[in-house]
């Protein structure tokens, strides 16, 4: 089955640091990837849609300058949390959808970000 | 406003029992997904439901979709401990644009 790899799985860093998270589709090409945020014991909230070769589409309320998304190839999207603060601590999950009719999104393993 | 609501949010049940999780959504869609999440882990795809009346089964889990009622159900038959997890439904609200709106999740605990 389709595999999405996300790295790193866990990050602990000081306030003010910028953190980059990578999302790779390992065995398929993904023109579109998605970035979600999940707070403890809550649901997933879509942050942005990452489009290969073009700008990401952000959901309402998500700061573009805080969460930088780059989708430089058909297999890699990156999310950079810039100048992270404790309130940015969360579980970030990426997903990608294989081509073909109504395929499910395949999710990465998630990145647990803790800002001290 | 686009809403996906699951019921119940918490469910504790004994092994061997049957139960159903409900997923209601607020606007027209013919694509609904069920996912499982274990603590500290990401999401695992369980079912993809693409049309009215769709029914899919895998082991002790069975999912169905009624697009007219905007309702999907996830039925658990003869529950076993290994099924303990949080279950999410997600609806493609934009007719194939792949933007998913998730329900709140149902935390299922199955006791021996």
DSSP letter string, B36-56? EE-TT--EEEEEEE-STT-EE
Chain A positions in Cβ-Cβ contact with residue B34 (cut-off 8 Å): none
Which residue in the block uniquely carries the two structure tokens 């073909």? A100
Chain A interface, mutation test: which of B95, B98, B99, B105, most A Cβ atoms within 10 Å?
B98
Please give the Cα distance from A49 to A38 (Å, whole number).
16
A37-46, A86-95, B59-68: range with lowest mean pLDDT: A37-46
DSSP state of A111: E
Which residue in the block uniquely carries the two structure tokens 């993809």? B48
What average pLDDT score do residues B80-87 get?
A: 96
Segments in chain B forming alpha helices (H) = none
Cβ atoms of residues B90 and B81 within 8 Å: no
Which residue in the block uniquely carries the two structure tokens 């959504």? B25
Q: Where are the beta strands (DSSP E) in A39-115?
A: 44-51, 57-58, 67-73, 76-81, 90-97, 105-107, 111-115
Interface of A with B (CB under 8 A): 6, 32, 34, 41-46, 49, 93, 95, 97, 101-110, 112
The answer, yes or no, to whether residue A62 has pLDDT greater than 90, is: yes
The answer, yes or no, to whether residue B94 has pLDDT greater than 70, is: no
What's the confidence (pLDDT) of residue B61?
98
Of A46, A104, A112, nearest to B33 by CB-CB distance is A104
* Both tokens assigned to B111: 């006791």
């Amino acid at each position: 089955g389709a595999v999405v790899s996300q790295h790193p799985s866990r990050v602990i860093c000081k306030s003010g640091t910028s953190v980059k998270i990578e999302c790779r589709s390992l065995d398929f090409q993904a023109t579109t990837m998605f970035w979600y945020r999940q707070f403890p014991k809550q649901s997933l909230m879509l942050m942005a849609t990452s489009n290969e070769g073009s700008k990401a589409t952000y959901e309402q309320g998500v700061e573009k300058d805080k969460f930088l998304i780059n989708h430089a190839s058909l297999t890699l999207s990156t999310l950079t949390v810039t100048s992270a603060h404790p309130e940015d601590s969360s579980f970030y999950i990426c997903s990608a959808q294989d081509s073909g009719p109504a395929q499910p999104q395949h999710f990465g393993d998630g990145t647990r970000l803790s800002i001290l | 406003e686009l809403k996906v609501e699951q019921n119940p949010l918490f469910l504790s049940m004994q092994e061997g029992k049957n139960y159903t999780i409900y997923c209601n959504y607020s606007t027209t869609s013919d694509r609904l997904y069920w996912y499982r999440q274990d603590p500290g882990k990401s999401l695992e795809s369980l079912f993809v439901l693409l049309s009215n009346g769709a029914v899919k089964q895998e082991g002790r889990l069975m999912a169905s979709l009624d697009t007219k009622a905007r309702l999907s159900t996830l039925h658990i038959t003869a529950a076993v401990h290994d099924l303990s997890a949080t279950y999410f439904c997600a609806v493609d609200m934009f007719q194939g644009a792949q933007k998913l709106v998730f329900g709140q999740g149902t935390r299922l605990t199955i006791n021996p």
